[in-house]
Structure formats: structure tokens, C-alpha cells
């Protein structure tokens, strides 16, 4: 499994917005802090709004804020929103003709499950707390 730039930046974007503790945050401010292009950040933010991770507010004082508490938002959810939670092996996708005869399928299923379980257990609140300790 390889996490794309969209996935990496999406996590950084959510953490940066979350650090503002419920305030509406301008994307322009976040891209300056995180060194992300505005066009790329807009694309990522759109996916995060669609996945109900972020809420978009329009108008002069518009911007983005988290849709739910940081303790209820996981890295796994964010990566799913950007399309980064693909299986670790191609054979785990539907349509593999060897699926019922495969001698190694349990390895890939278990690995995939462990990765997803871990990413879904890491909450944004934990990332913020760990960052503050550094």
C-alpha cells in the first residue's frame, strides 16, 4: 500500500484545521502553513467535505471546520476519502480467478486488515497531542 500525496496532504490539512479548535479556517491560511498549492488543497478539501470530514462555510468569513470532534475522526477515514485505502494485493479486489484456490490469500487478507485496523484507530486528536509533545 502506498499513500498518495493527496492522502498525506489530506491528513496534514485536517490536522491544521483541527488545531484551530472549532474555528472556521481559510484554506489560504492552511496552504501557507502546510506548503500545499491552493488548487491541490481545494481538490482535497472537496473530497473531505463530500466524505463529511470537513464542513464548508461560504461567504466573507467562510472556510472550513471539522464536521465532528478530533477524537472521532480517524486517519483511515481521511485516507478513504482520498481513495488511499486500496488493498495491499491486487488479488483482494473482486474478480480474481484464483481466489478460492490461492495459497497466500490469508496473508494478504490479514495484512490488509491489520493496516486498516491501525489507520482507523489513529485519531486526529492523537496526532495533535503527539505533535504538541515534540
**Hey, which residues does 113 pair with through a beta bridge?**
none
pLDDT of residue 134: 41
* Domain encompassing residue 38: 5-133
Count of domains observed in the chain: 1
End-to-end CA distance of the chain: 27
CATH value at residue 33? 1.10.10.10
Task: Write the pLDDT tens digit of every residue in 91-120.
Answer: 777 777 777 788 888 898 899 899 999 999
pTM: 0.87
The residue among 31, 72, 34, 36 whose CA lies nearest residue 53 is 72
pLDDT of residue 61: 83
pLDDT of residue 85: 81
Amino acid at each position: 500500500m502506498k499513500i498518495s500525496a493527496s492522502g498525506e496532504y489530506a491528513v496534514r490539512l485536517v490536522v491544521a484545521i483541527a488545531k484551530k479548535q472549532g474555528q472556521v479556517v481559510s484554506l489560504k491560511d492552511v496552504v501557507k502553513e502546510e506548503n500545499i498549492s491552493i488548487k491541490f488543497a481545494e481538490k482535497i478539501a472537496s473530497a473531505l467535505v463530500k466524505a463529511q470530514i470537513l464542513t464548508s462555510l461560504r461567504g466573507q468569513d467562510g472556510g472550513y471546520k471539522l464536521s465532528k470532534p478530533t477524537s472521532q475522526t480517524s486517519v483511515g477515514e481521511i485516507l478513504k476519502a482520498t481513495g488511499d485505502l486500496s488493498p495491499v494485493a491486487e488479488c483482494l479486489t473482486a474478480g480474481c480467478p484464483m481466489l478460492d484456490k490461492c495459497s497466500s490469500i490469508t496473508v494478504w487478507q490479514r495484512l490488509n486488515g491489520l493496516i486498516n485496523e491501525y489507520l482507523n484507530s489513529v485519531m486526529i486528536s492523537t496526532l495533535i497531542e503527539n505533535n504538541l509533545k515534540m
